[in-house]
Amino acid sequence: MPAIIRPWRPEDTPGAVHVVKSVFDEYGFTWEESGYHADLYDIQSHYIDADHEFWVAEEDRRIVGTVALETFPRLPGELGSVTRVGSQPRVAGADCSLERLYVLKEARRTGLGGNLVRTVLERAAQRHKTALEMWSDKRFGDAHRLYARFGAEVVGERICHDPDQSPEWGLLVRLAAT
């Protein structure tokens, strides 16, 4: 049975943590429960209460994928350039971001990643957002090809504030204004 994508529920937290941690373990990245990954242990506060959204992909009653949409006021600067917001480089002109897209290894290459991206893009358009930013570790080549199919263009790079100081590509998807 194919995975269904649905809004996160509190009982999904352990499954969501498992998905993201599995990918981090697969790539040898450092896990930081009380730091970089703290949002996953408190999805309600970080995403839902802050008017962001978080989805899970469920297959046979287990979580196999995650994705989130964060929304915010338009970032300063010319659309498609990179600007600094606080201490982090960001995609100028973006008013939302795709976050926490992770799929368990055994659920990849099934179309699930594309369906998760589509969920975020459709919801961003419904919320009248016009430009979506994504920051993705440079080692995730398959993900970058997936993003490109949705019109993502690389507009910059940065060193992530994660414990591994991972180099990332900054990508922009221009959304149709509604």
Q: What is the pTM of this model?
A: 0.95
Cα–Cα distance for residue pair 52/141, rounded to 1 Å: 27
Per the structure, the complete domain to which residue 155 belongs is given by: 4-174
Is the per-residue pLDDT at 109 higher than 80?
A: yes
Segment 5-56, tens digit of pLDDT: 999 999 999 999 999 999 999 999 999 999 999 999 999 999 999 999 999 9
Q: What total number of domains does the chain contain? A: 1
pLDDT band at 98 (very low <50, low <70, confident <90, very high): very high
In degrees and rounded to multiples of 5, residue 156 shows phi and psi of: -175, -175
In degrees and rounded to multiples of 5, residue 59 shows phi and psi of: -135, 125
Segment 120-147, tens digit of pLDDT: 999 999 999 999 999 999 999 999 999 9
What is the structure's pLDDT at 176?
Answer: 76
Alpha helix (H) residue ranges in the chain: 13-27, 38-41, 43, 112-126, 141-149
Cα–Cα distance for residue pair 132/125, rounded to 1 Å: 10
CATH number of the domain residue 16 falls in: 3.40.630.30
What is the structure's pLDDT at 178?
Answer: 44
What is the structure's pLDDT at 177?
Answer: 59
pLDDT band at 1 (very low <50, low <70, confident <90, very high): low
